Structure 1
């Protein structure tokens, strides 16, 4: 029987896994949407002719009390500390109001009491039109970008856990079937899109130890081209730029929603679901992101804008939880007001990678899924009519191998389309990458796309017994390389040394000639160590008499949930990924 594939090219055949494959079925179940409050929200915001009004919903008051409820509101501001402006918020004095009040600040907190006892609190975000400064463009159209992202969702998992959203996207958007991740977690994959840098360049140009804005993000380029820019992300503790990273000193975009989400998650109660901040007060975090995205799109429907709206709160820690927000996401994607606001906007619905941890990662299906995030594009009719060659090339490229670097180049190309004088700054992380508006060669390889062999899904592996002497030798090499990382990284002395405990599974490629003209295989190995950790790596191996050689192809992946045993590392996400704190080894032995 012919195997199903996402793409079938000369040098790349990406396997299409069954979303309900037997090897993962025990990990799969349905998660339902749950409300964060059984009561109707007591406060809401509406906007009329650029006037934003905060209202108390008096028709819902009886759900809270028959007594008189008194409410006040306060503006939520970013604290202007010298070194930690991204970590705290400040509230102005709470100003009493009765039924409604005009507000002039994007983020507000509402508090309602009966005889000084709190009965309701919430925070709200709104987007103020600044069209007076950004006039509707004349001449060549400038196309806006709206990026709706969900963390850790593969091509198969959106089909499996979010069937309504998947069906809508399949029917109304264009699927980049050959899209393959380039790095381990969110940071390298998202930064390849936003900066065009690879991991090594990020360390140089985006020094995470300096709390400032050293990177040149693509939203800076859009801002310089007179676009309105916005960025929002929920579950603040694990934000892309804040999980063991310093965040931003200056606000990176015109609309920066972190103060809103910090307030939602710290000034109110939160409800964890599968270890994620599912509820931030009386609303789900996921709906807060969706509402912010819709408000941003509607507010700036007539002026060029770039928005990135990213959700962690229902996907990061559980492979099934995206299903809880499927209906809500479908309702946003199919919302008439939202879609009408996107008449001049390229909508991108996407993820960064598949699910990275736990038992499912020891399956073949889990291995493939982790490397293949979903990504869909929706183009406005005006773009298709104005640039038929570019659009047709994009359609061709849906069946080619693509990577996040190509998305960055596409944004650069889009800026040039709207402004002939703009000089594109192509991805420095992948000099051989393309804009998706130019046809990608059918013989493209992972190396051409900036994808290391470890993440590449173009070539398959043949199963090889874990007790094969070659596999054992490769596995010991992986463990030694992991220990070398700890030895050579500052702070690594806090981490225990690993020993090989068990080889879980191994695969081997067909022989090929490497750059040194040696006949080699690459081995994909998943293994366990003592102390208890799980790693995966791809190794190029040459077995010659008395001259065996090994070379890591890309990163070593940590595929167990390592958070609880890495508390000794507080400011280095790279080291945390490989560490098992010595203090935790001591505790486990007590």
Structure 2
């Protein structure tokens, strides 16, 4: 059985519930961040088109009982972006406290606030009763009198992201969400293959048409301002009259800020970044699944999906919207984290459906890649495919299906064709020119710069497509079937050469004073990739192997894709493409460079 089955690509279908994975699988329980009642409630006044903060008198009365004649006094501070900071994405501003009245009308200039409610007796503060935070997607349309948008020519575009989630792990961990995604209008791209190692290159491919991996290798992404200079698809949507938003819930592990400085200028109309940074800095956090899970009284994930809800709701029937909302807080570090959030995510999707968002929007629910390290990669051969085959669902509303039956027919076919985030980039371009009849209608400058053969998913992808056609390098390609190598002499020869190349690479990068040299500990397995095309040179002399092995020191786990010349017994490999199959943090603290972290075991400090 195959997800994709053609002469050029045979992507094997894997069992999500195979024994080698299920022996590590255990459902986690969701724990609330807080069980106390809200003292402050945020509401949107539809007549004024403005937010209002109300004090819940009943909740206040219950909390004040133990303080005699005490009264409640609440204040707020505005959370903002510190524009003059060297790195505004890593900072935030906080205003002086201002009082909150019984029914406080929030000025339209305020996006985020931090609140504190105290029991007071006269001027004396007796106790802090509740600390909280609120976000507001304010209506700042310049011309609200304009007629409502024609959604059939400018549909809303919403991208919902779940970090590090494979097609298989979604089925295992989130069966309720998976069942929802089987509903009318949803299409799963079963041949969707990642194009880069971590979140950043995969998201850049989707947003810019270029994974910028050379920039990452050369350290350019760590320079302030580099990220801002790229051309993002949201800029084009903005030029076409869309309101734009971008939000992530993991402050320390967000895509553009994980070991990188992020944006100098706010990139979109509504940007969640500084709010999350402030909350992780100010509020008491609870960590679960390896990351900040609760931000104060509320789930970080809930803030993100409430941001998405408000954004879609605020401009419903008023302006088209383009929004990206990515969650990494519960899936980034732990492949079991998703099990605890199945119902929570489903509740958000059901709410969006109830509010009519899916009727007016093209929605993508996707991940950047599968789980990259830990037990699924170290203990299961299927983990290799899990990493490379992230979840990717697309929803098109009923009116779209009726008006563009030819595009829907293509989506159905493309579900079992090889695709990538470069194709999604072209699909987003297509949504801005829905009258296009073929890729020839797209101007050359709109083409994904790193994949000239990539195309919109609303056009049928070629049956004979291979990974190079989809902008997927051989390292990440899931198209070629493999066979397990059993020749122990050959395995040891290849493995020793791989380790020798790793040590040579440390010398080449001048890292021998910082990082320890490697010795081979053991080979877990080695597979040979079977070429699908009739290439005699590849078959007779050059063999491509995928080798998983442990090294000393520290029993580091690695995976490498290499070429072995059987005649000369020589090896070709790119050490920068090594995969580290466990977290680098414990043994690689001596460097912040994400490329070096992968293959550096730091020397002990003397």
Provide the TM-score with structure 2 as the length reference.
Answer: 0.90
Residues 361-388 of structure 1: per-residue CA shift (max 9 Å, x gap): 1311212211111111111223223322
Question: What's the counterpart of residue 33 of structure 2?
Answer: 36
- In structure 1, what is the equivalent of residue 23 of structure 2? 26
Q: CA deviation at 1:343?
A: 2.5
Superposition map of 1:84-123 within 5 A:
84-104=87-107, 105-115=110-120, 116=125, 117-123=127-133
Secondary structure of the corresponding residue to residue 205 of structure 2: helix
Alignment of 1:204-223 (within 5 A): 207-212=220-225, 213-223=228-238
Distance between the aligned counterparts of 1:288 and 1:94, measured in 2? Answer: 22
Q: Which residue of 2 aligns with 1:291?
A: 306
The equivalences for 1:344-355 within 5 A come to: 344-355=360-371
* Preserved contact between residue 539 and residue 553 of structure 1 (Cα < 8 Å): no
1:441 alignment counterpart: 462
1:124 to partner: Cα distance:
1.0
Residues 201 and 575 (structure 1), Cα distance of their counterparts in 2 relative to 1, 3 Å cut:
closer
**Residues 432-457 of structure 1: CA distance to partner in whole angstroms, max 9, x if unpaired?**
21111111111111121111222122
1:276-298 residue CA offsets vs partner (Å, 9 max, x unmatched): 11101101111111111111111
1:313 aligns with 2:318: no
Are residues 531 and 139 of structure 1, via their aligned partners in 2, closer, same or farther at CA, if it must alter by over 3 Å?
Answer: closer
CA gap of 1:429–1:336, structure 2 versus 1, over 3 A, is closer
SS of match in other structure, 1:577:
helix
* 1:559 correspondence with 2:603: no
For each residue in 1:144-169, what CA deviation from the matched residue of structure 2 results, as whole angstroms up to 9, or x when unmatched?
Answer: 21111110111011111111001000
Tell me, what secondary structure is at the counterpart of 1:294? helix
Structure 1 pair 171–507 and aligned structure 2 pair: CA distance change class (3 A): same
Q: CA deviation at 1:58?
A: 2.6
What is the CA–CA distance in structure 2 between the aligned matches of 1:263 and 1:438, rounded to whole Å?
44
Aligned-pair CA distance for 1:216: 0.8
1:122-521 equivalences under 5 Å are: 122-133=132-143, 135=146, 136-137=148-149, 141-172=153-184, 173-200=186-213, 202-203=215-216, 207-212=220-225, 213-302=228-317, 303-335=319-351, 339-362=355-378, 363-417=380-434, 423=443, 425-465=446-486, 468-489=488-509, 493-510=513-530, 513=535, 519-521=541-543
| Mapping of residues 49-68 of structure 1, within 5 Å | 49=46, 50-62=49-61, 64-66=63-65, 67=67, 68=71
> Per the alignment, in what secondary structure is the counterpart of residue 346 of structure 1?
strand
How far did residue 308 of structure 1 move? 0.6
For residues 338 and 326 of structure 2, what CA distance do their matches in structure 1 show? Answer: 13
Structure 2 counterpart SS, 1:183: coil
Q: How much does 1:551 deviate?
A: 4.0
SS in 2 for 1:146: strand
Structure 1 residue matching 2:434: 3-state secondary structure: helix
Q: Which moved more, 1:185-194 or 1:334-343?
A: 334-343
Cα deviation, 1:120-144, whole Å, max 9, x if unaligned, reads 1111111112233474335961122
Which shifted more, 365-374 or 516-525? 516-525
Q: Does 1:14 align with 2:27?
A: no
Deviates more, 1:55-64 or 1:483-492: 483-492
CA distance in 1, matches of 2:442, 2:311: 25
Structure-1-length-normalised TM-score: 0.92
In 2, are the aligned partners of 1:89 and 1:263 still within 8 Å (CA)?
Answer: yes
SS of 2:77's partner is: strand
Does structure 2 retain, via aligned residues, the 8 Å contact 1:150–1:351? Answer: yes
Contact 1:406/1:436 (<8 A) preserved: yes
Instruction: Work out the CA distance in 2 between the residues paired with 1:262 and 1:496.
Output: 35
1:280 and 1:369 mapped to 2: Cα distance? 30
Whole-angstrom CA distance in 1 between matches of 2:217 and 2:238: 24
Q: For residues 458 and 205 of structure 1, do their structure 2 counterparts lie closer, same or farther at Cα, with a shift above 3 Å needed? A: same
Q: What is the CA–CA distance in structure 2 between the aligned matches of 1:141 and 1:440, rounded to whole Å? A: 24
Unaligned 5+ segments in structure 2 are: none
Count residues with an aligned counterpart: 579
Shift of 1:337: 5.8
How large is the RMSD of aligned CA atoms in angstroms?
2.5
1:70 is matched with which residue?
A: 73
Per the TM alignment, residue 190 of structure 1 is displaced from its structure 2 partner at its CA by: 1.1
Shift of 1:494: 2.1
Q: Residues of 1 paired with 2:514 and 2:63: CA distance?
A: 52
Distance 2:559 2:247 in 1: 32
**SS state at 1:129 partner:** coil
Give ranges in structure 1 of 5+ residues lacking alignment.
none
Secondary structure, aligned partner of 2:323: strand
Cα distance in 1 between the residues matched to 2:518 and 2:469: 35
Q: Hey, what's the Cα distance between the residues in 1 that align with 2:304 and 2:197?
A: 24
